[in-house]
Amino acid sequence: MTDTVLDIQVRENTGTGGARAARRDGLVPGILYGGGEDPVAISLKQNEVIKALNTGNLIGSMVKISHKGKLQSAITKDIQFHPVKDMPQHIDFYRVKADSIITVEIKTHFVGEDECPGLKQGGTLNVVRYTIEVNCPAGDIPESLAIDLSELEMGDSLHISELKFPKGVTSAITDRDPTVLTVVATRGESADEEGEETAEGEETAEGETPEAEGEA
């Protein structure tokens, strides 16, 4: 859980017109929903939203929503940005409790690269998934998921079922077992191996004796 606290105002004017009016006043319109309660149209100060964005602890994170001094926990589910100015245009919050199980995406990071046999042999790490969708308590969202590469050989692949998740965290993907990464040979290395095989074949052909050819 982060220490991010965002002050909100309840918007009386909803719809497109109300959202535009909020933006003209330097506010970011949004919606607070879920938790067994009715959705509420809200607005936040744009500078506070930008400040929270710059911390990296807003999107997909648990935050505190403050309304007239009353705090409520919520997950930032979505933020829409202006296509040109790249400024926040709309923000969605989902009400949760600390022990609520939610589905979020967490980033992956790699450890054991220096010990990885496949990489030591000149292989390349081909990452298929830089984020993993998981189920976890809203109050204990991992910042990232460590993936150990120390035992991967050339040609090995790693699937979601082989990852080690923190306590209380499980994969949200259960109907298949996607590949997370592979260790592959570089193109130059593959070409060298093919060249060596070709050279060995030519050497064998040249080394054949006439008697061997006659016997054939």
Per-residue pLDDT tens for 159-198? 999 999 999 999 999 999 999 999 999 865 554 555 555 5
* 70/149 same-domain check: no
pLDDT of residue 201: 54
Match 């309304």 to its residue by tokens. 67
* 15/92 same-domain check: yes
Tell me the chain's radius of gyration from C-alpha atoms: 27
Q: What percent of the chain has pLDDT over 90?
A: 57
* 86/112 same-domain check: no
Work out whether strand 70-81 and strand 27-34 pair parallel, antiparallel, or are unpaired. Answer: unpaired
Stated pTM of the model? 0.65
* 107/64 same-domain check: no
CATH number of the domain that 62 lies in?
A: 2.40.240.10
CATH number of the domain that 112 lies in?
A: 2.170.120.20
Tell me how many helices (H) and strands (E) the chain has: 5, 14
Strands of 101-205, DSSP E: 101-111, 124-127, 131-137, 144-148, 157-159, 170-171, 179-184
Q: Count how many domains the chain has.
A: 2
Structural domain boundaries, residue 175: 102-192
* 88/120 same-domain check: no
Q: Higher pLDDT residue, 164 or 203?
A: 164
Work out whether strand 9-10 and strand 27-34 pair parallel, antiparallel, or are unpaired. Answer: unpaired
